[in-house]
Structure 1
Amino acid sequence: MATKRSVGTLKEADLKGKSVFVRVDLNVPLDDNSNITDDTRIRAAIPTIKYLMENGSRVVLCSHLGRPKGVTPKFSLKPLVPRLSELLGVEVVMANDSIGEEVQKLVAGLPEGGVLLLENVRFYKEEEKNDPEFAKKLAALADVYVNDAFGTAHRAHASTEGVAKYLKPSVAGFLMQKELDYLVGADKLDLAKSLMEKAKAKGVSLLLPTDVVIADKFAPDANSKIVAATAIPDGWMGLDIGPDSIKTFSEALDTTKTIIWNGPMGVFEFDKFAAGTEAVAKQLAELSGKGVTTIIGGGDSVAAVEKVGLADKMSHISTGGGASLELLEGKPLPGVLALDDA
């Protein structure tokens, strides 16, 4: 699968004053009083939206909620506005529709950095049929298309696939990019095998996870269980190391004098799959206190130690990611660079 262009490649010059149509997945559970019972999906969408706001875009958010048959008030996105506004620090404007002149006026009236939430796109049956005319009406609202709804990326709907034909650039949001990186990263097995051979030949000990925490989908609310690393069932994916691996890695780390950490143990942004990364971060912080040199290299590892609040306990935090690794090698090693797209 080809690497897709990410929203991070768009800069202020591409975004300032532009209307950006962002397909997000705000399909959150609501109780009978329309209160959000789990806002994880809303929080997961924030980094992409904030990036667009900070670069002066007019942000047009499009999502579905549930499986409505036609316009159904209980599937309205209105109850999401207060939480979305709170997380973004701006008053999110709510549209009563997802297409049409009224909506176009609301988009035109947005200030730079303003956010408009369209009404549930599945109120139109044309959405799930990927109707080209409907996709054109959605595209008429914006200049740029960002898809950050990985949960719906497997469906060719008007808002996930159709609209991209009429808006350029069409790019992946940060959440979508992370998922693509994980899946595309799965192609690197041959490289990993060759590295294992090399390590063996040089007598370098290479520890791999023996158990993993698996998920039935790439989502914070996925079902999860612990299995042997060799026994991941079809349709499931490993999103963290398991308790046995944490113990093994921990024992190995206890014998070291210098540790260079590049890359988290799992998808630590999702609390359910953060245990491995947090355990390693905590242990490195403890070892630093005992005089072990701990170097954190790579954006994700840095984000992980910051999330656990232990960044200041490490000996050194490199913001360089891949570059810090190159420096250590003394030469650019494509094999190592391939391990981390920083």
Structure 2
Amino acid sequence: MPVQTLDTVNVAGLRVLLRADLNVPVRDGKITDLTRIERLSPTIRELAGKGAKVIVCSHFDRPKGKRVLSMSLAPMAAALEEVLGQHVRFVEDCTGIAAEQAVELLVPGGVLVLENTRFHAGEESNDPAFAAGLAKLANIFVNDAFSAAHRAHASTEGVAHLLPAYAGRLMQAELEALNAALGSPVRPVAAIVGGAKVSTKLELLGNLVGKVDVLVIGGAMANTFLAAQGKAVGRSLQEAEMHDTARGILARAASAGCRVVLPTDVVVARAFKPNPPTQTVPVDAVPADTMILDIGAASVATLIQWLPSLKTLVWNGPLGAFETPPFDAATVTLAQAVAAATRKHGLRSVGGGGDTVSALRHAGVIEQFSYVSSAGGAFLEWLEGKSLPGVAALEGTPSLG
């Protein structure tokens, strides 16, 4: 890979500035999901175990350059201490004298969490002086926050130009998985894209039709494509103003040799609420007073039949309104089939972005895919073919010594 990893540096005795993503979900002052902290822990354990002094920095929420007590990283430091099973120090700033003194107290193998980088306006503006203040704390920089790599901020991009910079193990795993999924995939490769609006995934669809052999479109997005083909979709959510765009995507896919797969049957209801009366109908026979809320069993069965012929699959977005039963059925059924194909046939399955993680967790298969990215916006921008500043800054940077 074009970025340097921890395999290329001896960290013993070094002060390592580790960019993490501690922007975890919090409700009523309590962390409700430790996934990001747990995924970060292997890099910290490796660095500390090799005798590095680990200085963790991260953003949390949007304090807009001001100190907001409810957005402090102190609870995240406590959670990290519990996950690591070792003492974790915390300092109430991320640059300046207090941070520098806290770093001086670190011993090899010690871990320090700095206060929220977004308490400083210089973080989001990528201010060189703020980046220099962070760089002053360390000998090397390790970025393990792929989920923040789409932001050109001081702690993700600026500091990488001031210190020898490396990818942490989570960043490395993410980049390797994504490259295997779309960078240089084993073919045939398919993508499943769901979600509500074509308008929010226009760049994503445009990029994918040139890279995959099969593009499966689900969710309310599929309604827009069906309507663009002249099919009546009743009261379903769809974007009438995107019909020309949808037809353009279909034409581009055809010229690129990409097969676009839309539902052939759908689940409809007259009310969008849990467990209403439903019907499964062909896409040519949607009653005018109903809404399409999931794809049908026949459509799912066809997709499942194709799985053994695929070598690579990228999944972004649920197939239906999965948070409201029974409109989770298609997503759950197909996700479980993808997990089975991953185990039995060696399918490389990569999922991520927004509701995808929740949907795959709901289906009980999040650990059974080849890789599931916890990055939201960064994963989507990567799927769109965009360069991520936090990754680009790691490419070609000088190594230590």
Short-chain TM bin: 0.5 to 0.7
How far has the Cα of 1:271 moved from its partner? Answer: 8.2
Q: Compared with structure 1, are the counterparts of its residues 92 and 248 closer, same or farther at alpha carbon in structure 2 (3 Å cutoff)?
A: closer
How far has the Cα of 1:230 moved from its partner? Answer: 2.6
Q: Does 1:45 align with 2:135?
A: no
Distance in 2 (alpha carbons) for counterparts of 1:271 and 1:263: 21
One-letter code aligned to 2:3: K
Percent of pairs with identical residues: 37
Cα shift readout 1:260-319 (whole Å, capped 9, x = no counterpart): 875764469x78647558679xxxxxxxxxxxxxxxxxxx79xxxxxxxxxxxxxxxxxx
Distance in 1 (alpha carbons) for counterparts of 2:339 and 2:23: 37
One-letter code aligned to 2:167: A
CA RMSD between the two structures = 3.6
Q: Does 1:192 align with 2:187?
A: yes
One-letter code aligned to 1:29: P
Higher deviation after alignment, 70-79 or 178-187: 178-187
One-letter code aligned to 2:48: M
Cα shift readout 1:173-208 (whole Å, capped 9, x = no counterpart): 12222221233220225x525xxxxxxxxxxxxxx8
Structure-1 residue corresponding to 2:276: none
How far has the Cα of 1:246 moved from its partner? Answer: 5.0
Cα shift readout 1:20-65 (whole Å, capped 9, x = no counterpart): 0011010112223x21122221112111111111111100000111
For 1:215-226, list aligned pairs within 5 A.
Answer: none
User: Are the counterparts in 2 of residues 24 and 62 from structure 1 also a CA contact under 8 Å?
Assistant: yes
One-letter code aligned to 1:112: P
Aligned partner of residue 159 in structure 1, secondary structure:
helix
Q: Compared with structure 1, are the counterparts of its residues 188 and 94 closer, same or farther at alpha carbon in structure 2 (3 Å cutoff)?
A: same
Q: Does 1:154 align with 2:154?
A: no
Choose which of 91, 106, 109 in structure 1 pairs with 2:105. Answer: 109
One-letter code aligned to 1:48: T
Q: Does 1:230 align with 2:193?
A: no
Unpaired segments ≥5 residues, structure 1: 194-207, 217-227, 254-258, 281-299, 302-342
Choose which of 179, 182, 202 in structure 1 pairs with 2:177. Answer: 182
Distance in 2 (alpha carbons) for counterparts of 1:77 and 1:63: 8
Structure-2 residue corresponding to 1:243: 333
Choose which of 28, 52, 58 in structure 1 pairs with 2:53. Answer: 58
One-letter code aligned to 1:230: V
Distance in 2 (alpha carbons) for counterparts of 1:129 and 1:238: 33
Distance in 2 (alpha carbons) for counterparts of 1:278 and 1:214: 21
Distance in 2 (alpha carbons) for counterparts of 1:36 and 1:279: 25
Q: Does 1:133 align with 2:132?
A: no
User: Are the counterparts in 1 of residues 73 and 116 from structure 2 also a CA contact under 8 Å?
Assistant: yes
User: Are the counterparts in 2 of residues 131 and 158 from structure 1 also a CA contact under 8 Å?
Assistant: yes
Q: Compared with structure 1, are the counterparts of its residues 272 and 45 closer, same or farther at alpha carbon in structure 2 (3 Å cutoff)?
A: farther
How far has the Cα of 1:243 moved from its partner? Answer: 3.2
Distance in 1 (alpha carbons) for counterparts of 2:80 and 2:38: 8
Distance in 1 (alpha carbons) for counterparts of 2:111 and 2:34: 18
User: Are the counterparts in 1 of residues 23 and 59 from structure 2 also a CA contact under 8 Å?
Assistant: yes
One-letter code aligned to 1:85: E
For 1:283-322, list aligned pairs within 5 A.
Answer: none
Count of equivalent residues: 241
Distance in 2 (alpha carbons) for counterparts of 1:215 and 1:41: 23
User: Are the counterparts in 2 of residues 128 and 158 from structure 1 also a CA contact under 8 Å?
Assistant: yes
Aligned partner of residue 46 in structure 1, secondary structure:
helix
Aligned partner of residue 133 in structure 1, secondary structure:
helix
Structure-1 residue corresponding to 2:18: 22
Q: Compared with structure 1, are the counterparts of its residues 38 and 276 closer, same or farther at alpha carbon in structure 2 (3 Å cutoff)?
A: closer
How far has the Cα of 1:5 moved from its partner? Answer: 1.9
Structure-1 residue corresponding to 2:4: 5
Distance in 2 (alpha carbons) for counterparts of 1:249 and 1:98: 42
Distance in 2 (alpha carbons) for counterparts of 1:92 and 1:248: 40
How far has the Cα of 1:215 moved from its partner? Answer: 8.6
One-letter code aligned to 1:67: R
How far has the Cα of 1:164 moved from its partner? Answer: 0.6
TM-score (norm 2): 0.52
Q: Compared with structure 1, are the counterparts of its residues 82 and 104 closer, same or farther at alpha carbon in structure 2 (3 Å cutoff)?
A: same
Q: Compared with structure 1, are the counterparts of its residues 107 and 262 closer, same or farther at alpha carbon in structure 2 (3 Å cutoff)?
A: farther
Distance in 2 (alpha carbons) for counterparts of 1:242 and 1:213: 15
